Amino acid sequence: VEILLIELNGGASNYGVNELDLFERIQGFGFLPFWYDAKRSRLSSLSEPTATNTLFIHSIHLDEVTLRLQNAPKIVIRGTEW
């Protein structure tokens, strides 16, 4: 597994799961947490869970993913360039 996309929005507590524990456990497997800014094709490192989707990228694939984002062609959806 290279990348995990997980929505951490407080709902885990409904299942008896602490999101900070989950966040830290995933990092323990070598994944680094990021927020993805699609408009700029840029990753921003996260230090704690947020109320949005969290992109966990395995550390051995980070350079590859970053390069792919930098070189990805822009697309237009409903008049907005991404």
**What pLDDT, on the 0 to 100 scale, is given for residue 45?**
96
**What pLDDT, on the 0 to 100 scale, is given for residue 78?**
94
Residue 8 has pLDDT above 90, yes or no: no
Question: Model pTM?
Answer: 0.85
DSSP assignment of 13-69, as one string? Answer: GGGT--HHHHHHHHHHTTEEEEEEETTTTEEEE-SS--SSEEEEEEGGGHHHHHHHH
Task: Write down the residue that tokens 């840029």 correspond to.
Answer: 42
Label residue 82 by pLDDT band (50, 70, 90): confident
pLDDT, tens digit, 9 for 90 and up, residues 20-76: 999 999 999 999 999 999 888 899 999 999 888 899 999 999 999 999 998 999 899
